[in-house]
């Protein structure tokens, strides 16, 4: 006499793959990682570097560890300030004016 499986109506006809849930977990982890990277770029206000336009970004402006990051022709160059103040011989090249709204305008002088 054969035993009938009384829960046969509730059983899946396909076999359950235990590794299938790990694949889904990996997909979720990858989506989460990409979302974190996008959030970091947006939070750091450096979205200009993702476009084809030229951009300049000043980091720690006016401090000893100031850094200027320039993107020109899809090439990124970093300029770091030196710890010491400027010294040596030089010549005057122009005048800078600060307007009431805080904007600074540089006016170059003609070479004499």
CA distances 102 to 97, 108, 112, Å, are 10, 19, 31
Better-scored residue on pLDDT, 1 or 66: 66
Q: Using an 8 Å Cβ cutoff, are 104 and 98 in contact?
A: yes
Backbone angles phi, psi at 36, to 5 degrees: -65, -40
First to last CA, the chain: 114
**The whole model's pTM is what?**
0.37
Q: Assign 31 a pLDDT band (cuts: 50, 70, 90).
A: very high
CB atoms within 10 A of CB 74: 9
Rounded CA gap, 8 and 54, in Å? 67
4-18 tens-digit pLDDT: 555 555 555 567 777
Residue 32 has a pLDDT of 96
CB atoms within 10 A of CB 69: 17
58-96 tens-digit pLDDT: 888 777 788 888 888 888 888 887 666 666 777 878 888
Rounded CA gap, 43 and 37, in Å? 10
């Amino acid at each position: 006499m054969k035993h009938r499986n009384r829960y046969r109506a509730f059983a899946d006809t396909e076999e359950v793959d235990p590794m299938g849930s790990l694949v889904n977990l990996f997909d979720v982890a990858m989506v989460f990682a990409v979302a974190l990277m996008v959030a970091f770029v947006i939070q750091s206000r450096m979205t200009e570097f993702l476009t084809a336009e030229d951009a300049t970004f000043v980091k720690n402006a006016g401090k000893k560890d100031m850094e200027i990051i320039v993107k020109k022709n899809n090439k990124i160059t970093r300029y770091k300030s030196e710890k010491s103040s400027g010294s040596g011989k030089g010549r005057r090249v122009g005048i800078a004016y600060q307007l009431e709204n805080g904007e600074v305008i540089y006016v170059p002088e003609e070479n004499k």
